[in-house]
Structure 1
Amino acid sequence: MAATEVQNDSDGWLVLWLEPLGEDRWLKPGERVRVCTDYRGEEMAFSVTYWVRNEDRAAGIENVSVWVENGDPGRW
């Protein structure tokens, strides 16, 4: 099994986007989520992208996408 963990170390909200499912989770400060797949191969299981838009930052929101590159993205 492959797994990666995302933790919100900011003072505001962190939106975790799970792709390619297009699902999101809103993490409060200090909250964490582990994303798992059934993948056991040699290739990279996940890729991670972080971004902040000016409008989001003004509202105290930051964003991170976890792309499931290999394996079943149906498990959180």
Structure 2
Amino acid sequence: MAKTSVSNETSSMVCLWVEPWGTDHWMRPGEEFTVVTEAEPEQSPFNVVVHDEGITVWVNAGHDAEVFDKNGDMVPCGYRRPARYSQGAAVVLEALNMLRNDPQVLERISGIGLFGDPKTFTGAVIGVPPPDTLLERTEAQCAEGDPICDASIPLGQRILQLPLCKIDSAEACLHHGHQGVLLISPGPS
């Protein structure tokens, strides 16, 4: 069995690509992953390439490979893959505002999940609160350090981080992976 380890010594997320399968495994700063294959070390089973898109480990032997974290837990393909930017929470709130006067639709909404809700940004007029009848069925979540929704970050620091959110990259801005969810129950049969 052969293995090689790679670590993220940067201050942002880095992708580990395992080829020839094209699997992606995303590392946070300071994390280390190990690629393991059944090949013997004498077979020179790996080539490691560092490039602008991350790190690629080529498995040269004709064996499958698996990726593990420092604890020995398997890291599946797509692990921590950043979602692309979404203004989902604002869109869901705006849709609710448009439906505010339609009680038949509102009563069918079983729950609302707001991720990265921009309403917490001081002075921002983005979206409106859900109708009062839905407040008990609304849950809002914010990733720690998200400059758009984490109200624990001083406003001045949040404003300084906002230009990073214009970059289409979750490494640049935590807010890129957030969205809103609207759960609607089926109507009466």
Structure 1-normalised TM-score?
0.79
Aligned-pair CA distance for 1:13 = 1.1
Contact 1:21-1:73 at 8 Å conserved across structures: no
Which among 44, 49, 63 is matched to residue 54 of structure 2?
A: 63
Q: How does 1:1-76 map to 2 (within 5 A)?
A: 1-40=1-40, 42-52=42-52, 62-76=53-67
More strand by share: 1
User: 5+ residue gaps in structure 1?
Assistant: 53-61
Aligned-pair CA distance for 1:73 = 2.4
Paired position in structure 1 for 2:101: none
The higher-RCO structure (CA 8 Å, 6+ apart) is 1
Q: Deviations over 1:1-53 (max 9, x none)?
A: 1000011011111110000111001100011111000111522110011111x
Calculate the aligned-residue CA RMSD, in Å. 1.4
Larger Rg: 2
More helix by share: 2
Structure 2-normalised TM-score?
0.34
Structure 1 15/41 Cα, relative in aligned 2: closer, same or farther at 3 Å?
A: closer
Structure 1 10/72 Cα, relative in aligned 2: closer, same or farther at 3 Å?
A: same
Contact 2:14-2:27 at 8 Å conserved across structures: yes
User: 5+ residue gaps in structure 2?
Assistant: 68-189
User: What is the DSSP-based 3-state SS (H/G/I as helix, E as strand, rest coil) of the residue aligned with 1:30?
Assistant: coil
Q: Distance in 2 between matches of 1:15 and 1:42?
A: 27
